Structures are given as structure tokens and as C-alpha cells.
Amino acid sequence: MATVRELVADHSRQYVLRGRPFVSVYPVFSRRAGGISVGVNLNLDRGCNFDCIYCQVDRTGPLSPQMPSFRDLPGVVEEELSLLFESIASGEFFSSPPFEDLPVNLRKVKDIAFSGDGEPTLSPVFGEVALLARNFLSRHFPSGDSPLLRLITNGTGLFGRELRTRTEEIFLVPGAGEVWLKLDAATPAAFDRIDRSRIPFLRMMEGLEEIVMSLPVTLQTMVLDFGAPGTPGSFAADRSFWEPLLDRVERWSLQGAKIRAWHLYGVARTPALAEVRRVDPLRLQAYAGEARVRLPFPVEVF
Ligand code: SF4
């Protein structure tokens, strides 16, 4: 038996149905989605061009021996989606661990979310599997009330116009999908400290700006502290972190960005690095309050 709090903290990508371990598809309870989120992991090799300090993916262990080739992955995803949605339709899913005690009002599949052990848009089969998932939802929910198709991304695969256009066509069907775009930092120092990518900061900001100007996205920002205050290598999400971030989002907004909402969130699950600390919820709420005064779209805290 798992409580809602335990389900929020547990985003294990190991799902087993009738003794069969799934490879790519993994259902979790999502506080942000407000129900069950069916994850699709296209990064079975854990490949990512970021190395976020809050990432909960453990990249040190051996890769799964069951890992299919990229060529076989679309077929695996389709089969696992079919099995999972059959078990949901039959009632089996909500009468089995770990979801059997989920309150009735939360027993709803809210989305199929592309979010895995790395950056989904980097997968060579991203476009193919995204289209497959879009078609799957159309077939299974022909009369509406379909879960959304959601992409959770650091945006780097969408810097290229072709994949950005394809993503728009597949995910941003009005009322049927969303793109959640990560923006963790707006200064080179914070970007280096939090996201730890080899992509130059200025290239990152330029690419993100192109995305928010052309696609309707929800911004996501992880707000965290790192290490003991004042110790070497420590980081605090203080005013020097927050003000440039809010200034940048406001500037994008004034320039005509299509931002739909901004999610500020604190650490909910166990990150790979133990030094990552959850910020005081009051600080997060205060930042959100400032943002709501200056921005024309909803700002939510999780
Ligand atoms: S972008 Fe996502 S998968 Fe990649 S390191 Fe950051 S949190 Fe982990």
C-alpha cells in the first residue's frame, strides 16, 4: 500500500504488469499533472546533454540487458501502451500495487509524457514514437476525453527548425497536448552550477528564446539550494538567482513570447546528489507572488 505522498516521491521507471517488466513505458502519480502520468522513456541508454544536479537518474549502474535497439523501440512502446491502457480499462491497474489505494478523484490518466532517463528530443526515434503515441490516443479515445500528449524537455532538440515544427504538429494540437520547457537558470553561473551542460550559456538562451517565441510552452523551473550555506561549491536560489530569471521571463513575455504558464517547483524526489536541498516553501511562494504581479500568465508552485 502506497500513500499519495509516497507515490509522488517514487517515480520509479520500473513497472511490472502481470509479471512482465516494462522497458520504456512507466506509469507514475504526478502531482503536477494531478493524476496518473504515463511516461515514455526513449533514453534507455540514459543519454543526456545536461547533467542537472537535481537529476534523479542514476547513471552509474549497468544498462538493462533488455534494452532494445532504437529500431525496435517504437514497436516496444506501442505494445506497452496497449497493455497498460487495457489494464486501466479493465480496472486491473487501479486494483494492483502501487496504485490500489489512490483516492478515486485521482484515478485518471492525465497524460502520456515524453520524459525519461535523458533528453527525449535527442532520441533518434523521438518524432516517430511521438507520432505513434498521438495516433494511439486518437484510436483509443475517439470521442474525446483523451489524456494529453506532453513533452518535457530541456529544449535542445528543438533548436533546429525541422524538429520544432514536427513537435508543434504532434504535441501542440489545441487542447490535446503541451510542451513543458525547462528553464532552470538565467545567468551563466547558475546555469553552470545547476544544469552542468557543455552547451554554452548564450547558445542556450538564444535557443530557448526562439522556442518561446514560436511555440506555446509551459516553463518549468527547479528552485533548489545546494550544499551547506557558505561552503565551497554551495549554491543558493537567492535574489542573485531569482531576479535575472524573472527579468528574462518578463522580457520574453513583453517581446511576444507564447508562454502559457510558469511552474516553479522544489525537489520532491531523491536526487542523485545528496547535497541538493529543498528550498523553504515560503521562499518559493514569495518568488511566485512577485512573478504573478509582473507576468500575464499563471505562475504555479509545486
Ligand atoms: S535534462 Fe532531465 S534527464 Fe537530463 S540531466 Fe537534467 S533532469 Fe536529468
pLDDT of residue 1: 54
Asked if residue 152 has its Cβ within 6 Å of ligand 1, the reply is no
Asked if residue 184 has its Cβ within 6 Å of ligand 1, the reply is no
Question: How large is the average pLDDT for residues 176-200?
Answer: 97
pLDDT of residue 9: 58
Question: How large is the average pLDDT for residues 209-219?
Answer: 98
Cell of 40: 515514455
Question: How large is the average pLDDT for residues 240-251?
Answer: 98
**DSSP state at residue 235:** B
Query: Percent of the chain scored above 70 by pLDDT?
Result: 96
Cβ pair 245, 284 in contact under 8 A: no
190 and 268 fall within a common domain: yes
Cβ count within 10 A of residue 238: 12
- The answer to whether position 130 is within a domain reads yes
10 and 137 fall within a common domain: yes
What does the buried/exposed string (b/e) look like for 258-272 if buried means 16 or more CB atoms within 10 Å of the residue's CB? ebebbbbbbbbeebe
Residue 238, helix vs strand vs coil: coil
Cα distance between residue 42 and residue 70, in whole Å: 9
pLDDT of residue 273: 81
- The answer to whether position 175 is within a domain reads no
Atom of ligand 1 nearest to the CA of 54: 7
117 and 194 fall within a common domain: no
54 and 12 fall within a common domain: yes
- Atom 2, ligand 1: which residue's CA is nearest? 118
Question: How large is the average pLDDT for residues 195-214?
Answer: 98
Cell numbers 547535497 label which residue? 275
- The answer to whether position 138 is within a domain reads yes
Question: How large is the average pLDDT for residues 41-64?
Answer: 88
Cβ pair 224, 237 in contact under 8 A: yes
Asked if residue 191 has its Cβ within 6 Å of ligand 1, the reply is no
120 and 66 fall within a common domain: yes
pLDDT of residue 229: 86
Cα distance between residue 292 and residue 278, in whole Å: 22
Instruction: Tell me the pLDDT band of 143, cut-offs 50, 70 and 90.
Output: confident
pLDDT over 90 (residue 5): no
- The answer to whether position 164 is within a domain reads no
Whole-number Å distance, alpha carbon 197 to ligand 1 midpoint, is: 10
pLDDT over 80 (residue 67): yes
3 and 140 fall within a common domain: yes
Cα distance between residue 222 and residue 55, in whole Å: 10
Asked if residue 57 has its Cβ within 6 Å of ligand 1, the reply is yes
Question: Domain count of the chain?
Answer: 2
Whole-number Å distance, alpha carbon 118 to ligand 1 midpoint, is: 6
Cβ pair 186, 206 in contact under 8 A: no
Question: How large is the average pLDDT for residues 259-286?
Answer: 90
Whole-number Å distance, alpha carbon 154 to ligand 1 midpoint, is: 8
Whole-number Å distance, alpha carbon 145 to ligand 1 midpoint, is: 30
pLDDT of residue 3: 66
133 and 203 fall within a common domain: no
Question: How large is the average pLDDT for residues 202-216?
Answer: 98
Closest of 246, 249, 155 to residue 204, by C-alpha: 155
Atom of ligand 1 nearest to the CA of 152: 2
Cα distance between residue 238 and residue 258, in whole Å: 27
7 and 143 fall within a common domain: yes
pLDDT over 70 (residue 4): no
Residue 264, helix vs strand vs coil: strand
Atom of ligand 1 nearest to the CA of 118: 3
The C-alpha angle with vertex 271 and arms to 101 and 31, in degrees rounded to 5, equals: 35
Asked if residue 119 has its Cβ within 6 Å of ligand 1, the reply is yes
**DSSP state at residue 124:** T
pLDDT of residue 137: 97
138 and 18 fall within a common domain: yes
- The answer to whether position 166 is within a domain reads no
130 and 243 fall within a common domain: no
pLDDT of residue 154: 98
> Of 101, 133, 150, which one is at a domain's C-terminal end?
150
Higher pLDDT, 60 or 193: 193
pLDDT of residue 246: 98
Asked if residue 51 has its Cβ within 6 Å of ligand 1, the reply is yes
Cβ pair 157, 119 in contact under 8 A: yes
Cell of 260: 502559457
Alpha helices by DSSP H, listed for the chain, are 4-9, 73-90, 126-140, 161-171, 188-194, 201-214, 239-254, 281-294
Instruction: Tell me the pLDDT band of 145, cut-offs 50, 70 and 90.
Output: confident
- The β-bridge partners of 150 are 113, 178
- Domain span at residue 97? 1-150
- The answer to whether position 296 is within a domain reads yes
Atom of ligand 1 nearest to the CA of 46: 3
- Atom 8, ligand 1: which residue's CA is nearest? 55
pLDDT over 90 (residue 155): yes
- The answer to whether position 297 is within a domain reads yes
Query: Percent of the chain scored above 90 by pLDDT?
Result: 79
Asked if residue 48 has its Cβ within 6 Å of ligand 1, the reply is yes
pLDDT of residue 63: 79
Instruction: Tell me the pLDDT band of 8, cut-offs 50, 70 and 90.
Output: low
119 and 5 fall within a common domain: yes
132 and 187 fall within a common domain: no
pLDDT over 80 (residue 75): yes
> Of 126, 150, 174, which one is at a domain's C-terminal end?
150
Whole-number Å distance, alpha carbon 196 to ligand 1 midpoint, is: 10
Cell of 263: 511552474
Q: What is the CATH number of the domain that holds 233?
A: 3.20.20.70
- The answer to whether position 37 is within a domain reads yes
Asked if residue 52 has its Cβ within 6 Å of ligand 1, the reply is yes
Whole-number Å distance, alpha carbon 50 to ligand 1 midpoint, is: 6
pLDDT of residue 2: 61
Cβ count within 10 A of residue 104: 7
Q: At what angle do helices 239-254 and 281-294 cross, to 10 degrees?
A: 30
Cell numbers 500575464 label which residue? 296
